[in-house]
């Protein structure tokens, strides 16, 4: 598939949309995104369509979540009765589950009048069940930076399942910059992209060698697009693994977020294998990692976002870290044939029955203001961005999730191949 042609027009003269990495670098060079001289912004913070933000040297443990609103600054509200304690993040500091912390970020903004921002947790943050929200001075909504904003940035942090150690400089969330209005592509446009296999692949898709098969596949794609691309849950597993979910264990030891591939999965997660009836009951207030049936693709000139909780889908929340970079499951030239979405799922108030193939979310696609010079996974090798059910980067690679289906030698080879691929996926996660 021929990739979308790159426009040669200078970045700041192009159409509205989400800014690519090269435009973010230009904002930094112009002083629109700044940091103290002692902690300059590094190129490692720049992703294809977003920028990682860093924790500052202190944090405030507060009584409740809040927004400053128009009548006060955030710090005035914190020191006006919400403050429990001030924490020094220059050393590793423990954050306890279900406590609310507000951390001033290192970066500050001075945006042009036509630029706004949208934030979300990084992938690793979401997979650890750490809830984060960006706050601006005088802000009246979370995760949004108004057009032309000038001022400091803050992050609200609530770890839900695990106690965690954090430190100054750690990156928990990321910020996208939007010129003008970034509106989700309509279903008509998505169906056109889906016809060319630019959006989604199915594990069980058959090669369309006759007209009837072709019609069935076209109809399947048409059903998948309805107010965005429909994302369904996989409770079946595949030939490589029959583990279809991980459930967070309670009362675990603290996780140091700076440690990579350090912790044993079994100490923190319960593995859930594919049930024969392909059903799973989500227990109230428990946290799960699951995978989508669909292998998602995001062309280089688009970005995508998993929509927030929709009451029509049931009483559970899906996907904290809802942003998908340009090239996710696609690569630079269309060489990657889709990547499963890892779903972070938490049920609320009541048990919820999930069935294999059940709708759990919608993926919305947005045009980029320009095609990034480097897309998701490209520097490592885009053939490795093929995650199935990958944990966050703090955990060692699971060794016991492989089906014994074709003899020990074949199984040994498959396990080694899968482990090698997963290590490279971990390297991708270290950037997200």
Burial status of residue 59 (CB atoms within 10 A of its CB: 0-12, 13-18, 19 or more):
buried
**DSSP letter, residue 277:** T
Query: For residue 282, what pLDDT is reported?
Result: 94
Q: What is the pLDDT of residue 369?
A: 95
| Residues 233 and 360 sit within 8 Å (Cβ to Cβ) | yes
Q: What is the pLDDT of residue 361?
A: 87
pLDDT at site 419: 47
Residues 6+ apart with CB under 8 A from 163: 94, 95, 96, 97, 252, 253, 254, 255
Count CA within 13 A, CB hemisphere, residue 351. Answer: 5
CA distance 40 to 42: 6
**Maximum CA extent, the chain:** 70
Q: Which of 155, 164, 163 is nearest to 134 (CA)?
A: 155
Going from the C-alpha of 66 to that of each of 61, 165, 223, 293, the distances in angstroms are 12, 23, 40, 37
The rounded distance, in Å, linking the Cα atoms of 184 and 337 is: 23
Q: Which domains occur in the chain, in start order? A: 17-179 (2.70.40.10), 187-429 (2.70.40.10)
Q: Which residues of 5-20 are buried (b: 16+ CB within 10 A; e: fewer)?
A: eeeeeebeebeebbbb
pLDDT given at position 304: 95
> In which residue are the tokens 């688009």 written?
302
Give me the tens of pLDDT residue by residue for the chain, a chain 432 residues long.
344 444 444 444 457 999 999 999 999 999 999 999 999 999 999 999 999 999 999 999 999 999 998 888 999 999 999 999 999 999 999 999 999 999 999 999 999 999 999 999 999 999 999 999 999 999 999 999 999 999 999 999 999 999 999 999 999 999 999 999 888 999 999 988 887 767 887 665 544 455 555 455 556 666 788 889 999 999 998 888 899 999 999 999 999 999 999 999 999 999 999 999 999 999 999 999 999 999 999 999 999 998 854 555 556 677 666 899 999 999 888 888 899 999 999 888 889 899 999 988 889 999 999 999 988 876 633 333 456 788 899 999 776 454 554 444 444 544 444 444 444 444 444 455
pLDDT at residue 325, rounded to an integer = 94
**pLDDT in the model for residue 94:** 98
Supply the pLDDT for residue 218.
56
pLDDT of residue 337: 87
Which pLDDT belongs to residue 383?
Answer: 32
């Amino acid at each position: 598939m021929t990739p979308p042609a790159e426009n040669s027009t200078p970045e700041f003269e192009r159409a509205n949309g989400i800014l690519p990495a090269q435009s973010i670098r230009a904002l930094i060079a112009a002083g629109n995104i700044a940091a103290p001289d002692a902690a300059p912004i590094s190129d490692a913070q720049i992703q294809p369509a977003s920028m990682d933000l860093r924790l500052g040297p202190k944090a405030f443990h507060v009584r409740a979540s809040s927004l400053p609103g128009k009548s006060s600054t955030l710090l005035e509200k914190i020191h006006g009765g919400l403050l429990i304690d001030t924490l020094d993040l220059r050393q590793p500091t423990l954050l306890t589950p279900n406590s609310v912390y507000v951390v001033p970020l290192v970066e500050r903004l001075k945006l042009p009048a036509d630029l706004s921002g949208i934030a979300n947790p990084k992938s690793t943050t979401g997979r650890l069940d750490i809830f984060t929200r960006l706050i601006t001075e005088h802000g009246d909504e979370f995760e949004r930076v108004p057009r032309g904003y000038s001022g400091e940035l803050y992050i609200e942090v609530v770890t839900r399942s695990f106690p965690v150690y954090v430190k100054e400089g750690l990156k928990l969330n990321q910020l996208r910059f939007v010129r003008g209005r970034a509106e989700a592509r309509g279903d008509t446009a998505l169906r056109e992209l889906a016809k060319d296999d630019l959006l989604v692949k199915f594990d069980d898709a058959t090669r369309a060698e006759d007209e009837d098969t072709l019609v069935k596949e076209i109809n399947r794609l048409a059903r998948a697009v309805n107010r965005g691309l429909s994302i369904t849950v996989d409770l079946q597993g595949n030939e490589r693994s029959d583990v279809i979910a991980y459930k967070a264990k309670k009362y675990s030891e603290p996780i140091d977020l700076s440690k990579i591939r350090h912790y044993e999965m079994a100490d923190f997660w319960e593995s859930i294998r594919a049930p024969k009836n392909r059903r799973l009951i989500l227990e109230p207030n428990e946290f799960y990692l699951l995978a989508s049936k669909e292998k998602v693709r995001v062309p280089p000139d688009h970005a995508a976002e998993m929509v927030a909780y929709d009451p029509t889908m049931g009483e559970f929340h899906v996907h904290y870290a809802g942003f998908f970079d340009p090239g996710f499951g696609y690569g630079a030239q269309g060489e990657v044939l889709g990547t499963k979405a890892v779903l972070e799922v938490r049920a609320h108030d009541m048990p919820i029955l999930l069935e294999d193939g059940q709708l759990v979310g919608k993926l919305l696609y947005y045009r980029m203001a320009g095609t990034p010079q480097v897309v998701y996974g490209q520097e490592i090798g885009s053939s490795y961005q093929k995650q199935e059910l990958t944990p966050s980067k703090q955990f060692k690679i699971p060794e016991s999730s492989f089906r014994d289906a074709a003899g020990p030698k074949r199984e040994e080879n498959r396990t080694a191949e899968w482990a090698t691929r997963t290590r490279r996926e971990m390297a991708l996660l270290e950037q997200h």
